[in-house]
Structure 1
Amino acid sequence: MLLNEKGYYFTLLLFGLFASVSLQKSVRDRADGIPVTGLYYAICWFSLIVALVLLTIGLINATLLLSEKGFYAMAYALSLFGAVAVQKNIRDAMEITDAPRSARSVPPALD
């Protein structure tokens, strides 16, 4: 594999990771009631789809064995899944640790 091919796949990996984490955050923000603009939400979906399509086109045109192409595709998919899972777990852990603090910081009601 040539150096420019390695750079192409590395760039797609970074682009896909950013797009997937950004999309997951947008979906989570919408579920939590935090406003997310429709344009940003659409751009996140578009970016993730473009990253997947570019990887597919690159692997179809690559001069690799079929098993190597499958390895690259699965590694890419699992990398995206891993990034989303880590981001989700970190956000869940932050909500758990923030909840007791916010409950304690509320002053008692004055009657």
Structure 2
Amino acid sequence: MGTVRFQKPTAAFVAASWAALIIGAIVYLLGLWNAAMQLNEKGYYFTILMYGLFSAVSLQKTVRDRLEGISVTGIYFGLCWVSLLLSVGLLAVGLFNATLAPSEKGFYAMAFLLSLFGAVAVQKNVRDIAAYKAENPLADDIAATE
């Protein structure tokens, strides 16, 4: 098997990834802030967002570790999958049972999923940039002098 070569993600993809994460999370949180819900209900949706973001990043990291030959136990890999699916499932059950308008339910679901996508893409970019810099330590110096 040949040597793995890492490509640096484009600035546009890095910016789009950060924008997806930040916009998704901020819009979701602004929706919670302005919602006419009890505080415990807002706490439930906030916790699901945090749990979902953590589990998505953790799953992306374990998948990447396995691809790069870094040892990841099967139980941790499975736990990451269960956590991600559980966070999505908890959001779905919460929204299904919520006394919100269908448009509000869709708003929370889409902002949540945008946040998860952004978190995974940002984590991927962080890993790709670090791997690229490790493989090409003079790349930034060369680009700065051109």
Instruction: Give the structure-2-normalised TM-score.
Output: 0.68
Larger Rg over CA atoms: 1
Superposition deviation, residue 100 in structure 1:
2.4
Matching of residues 53-68 of structure 1 within 5 Å: 53-68=89-104
| TM-score with structure 1 setting the length | 0.88
What value does the CA root-mean-square deviation take over the aligned residues?
A: 1.2
Deviations along 1:32-58, whole A, 9 cap, x unmatched?
Answer: 111110000000001111111110000
Q: Which has the higher contact order (CA 8 A, sep 6+)?
A: 2
* Letter matched to residue 69 of structure 1: K
Which residue identity does 2:50 align to in structure 1? L
Would you identify which runs of 4 or more consecutive aligned residues in structure 1 move more than 6 Å? none
Residue correspondences, number: 102
* Residue matched to 1:108: none
Matched, 1:19 2:55: yes
* Percent identical residues: 63
Which ranges in structure 2 are unaligned for 5 or more consecutive residues? 1-36, 138-146
Matched residue type, 1:96: Y
Q: Give the Cα separation in 2 of the matches to 1:67 and 1:100.
A: 48
